[in-house]
Structure 1
Amino acid sequence: MSDRPEEPGCEHRGTGTDAEAATATGPGAGAGRDRDAEGRARNARPRDGLGRPLPYGAPGVDRQPEGVERSPRQALAEAQDLLDRGLPFHAHEVLEDAWKAAAEPERQLWRGLAQLAVGLTHAARGNAKGGAALLLRGAGAIAPYADTVPYDIDVPGLTAWAQGLADRLGERDEPVAAAGNAPRLCTGEVRAAE
């Protein structure tokens, strides 16, 4: 568990695994909400590949553990792998950890990357308006980093990708394929060991 204070932005996050949360609190514990061992409200329901809650007891996709410390390159490699596998919700959780752990000069970069991943999540769920808004917000957050190119992140490519997908979402009502529309986060191959 992290000692960092909670920040606004992703209230859906839980701590530990779904099984740990359910064991600590059980479905519907307390005032109708799942709670973690410290008594904070946490949703212990399993989730599908796009992060949508499933009924208790249904098989779900393992969630990314919260508060994992990764180097920037590890976070990028893990997020890219998740994006490539069509799991942008899970990629956003990895990028959110990087955002919360980042020093002030890079916080908006990581926040913007997380917003891009959650924008793709909404687009894949069929929420075109919400997806487009998050894609554009994420692109705006990372745009100031275009001249510095931290960690070989392809800021110009990502902003163009986000704008292009946001434009396409305005023309459709159906979900997009998450894996088929996943961006490349970096200009070269991302390796966690670097």
Structure 2
Amino acid sequence: MSTAPRPDDRGRDRDTEGRARNARPRDGLGRPLPYGTEGVERQPEGVTRTPEETVTQAQALLDAGRPFHAHEVFEDAWKSGPDDERDLWKGLAQLAVGLTHSARGNPTGGARLLLRGADAIDAGRRGQRPYGIDVDGLVSWARQLAELLEAEGATVDAAEHAPRLRGADGK
């Protein structure tokens, strides 16, 4: 039996349990494409990964210019992880969505999400490196990119502006 979303009687995509699941293909920035168009491979939803797997997979997606898809990886960690890590994973998801909006040509929305994400991961974690994540470096990256977006209203290249989750040395 297929688990792929299929249209319901109103033409809306639903999974086998009736939950909304958009089956439209998406581009590298997560924008929906017309049905029948070839898009990029989507991240499966609801996958439980170790924190290390989450960071590694999200970094690969960010490096490939696919921050929307990295956001989905962080969202899985945020929803399945322990309560005391929710702000970290949610904040990382917001950083990825902020970069997505910035690359899609929405600098105002991008800047707001970057700042919101920076605040979330910075809350109580200054100087810490949970799972090797360079919190201080990411907060600085997000605030600098938000400042650029607010000052210039620029659209950025997602791969070119991708953050290093574990810092410049990658450790």
Where 2:13 maps in the other structure, the secondary structure is: coil
Aligned match of 2:145: 165
8 A contact 2:103–2:158 mirrored in 1: yes
Aligned match of 1:99: 78
Where 2:72 maps in the other structure, the secondary structure is: helix
1:55 aligned to which of 34, 37, 56: 34
Tell me how large the CA RMSD over aligned residues is: 1.4
2:159 aligned to which of 167, 179, 186: 179
- TM-score scaled to structure 1, two decimals? 0.82
The count of residues paired between Structure 1 and Structure 2 equals: 167
8 A contact 2:108–2:153 mirrored in 1: no
Shift in Å, 1:172: 3.2
Mapping 1:12-91, distance limit 5 Å: 20-21=4-5, 25-26=6-7, 29-91=8-70
8 A contact 2:29–2:104 mirrored in 1: yes
CA distance in 2, matches of 1:57, 1:75: 30
Give unpaired runs (5+ residues) of structure 2: none
Shift in Å, 1:122: 0.4
Aligned match of 1:108: 87
Give unpaired runs (5+ residues) of structure 1: 1-15
Aligned match of 2:103: 124
Q: Deviations over 1:76-115 (max 9, x none)?
A: 0000010001000011100111111111111100100010
CA distance in 1, matches of 2:126, 2:55: 17
Shift in Å, 1:67: 1.1
CA distance in 2, matches of 1:186, 1:174: 26
CA distance in 2, matches of 1:105, 1:147: 17
Q: Deviations over 1:161-189 (max 9, x none)?
A: 00000011113344210000000001343
Shift in Å, 1:36: 1.2
Please tell me the residue identity of whatever aligns with 2:86. Answer: R
Q: Deviations over 1:110-168 (max 9, x none)?
A: 10001000100000000111100100000000002123321111111100100000011
CA distance in 2, matches of 1:50, 1:180: 14
Where 2:42 maps in the other structure, the secondary structure is: coil
Runs (4+) off by over 4 Å:
none
Aligned match of 2:170: 189
- TM-score scaled to structure 2, two decimals? 0.92
Where 1:140 maps in the other structure, the secondary structure is: helix
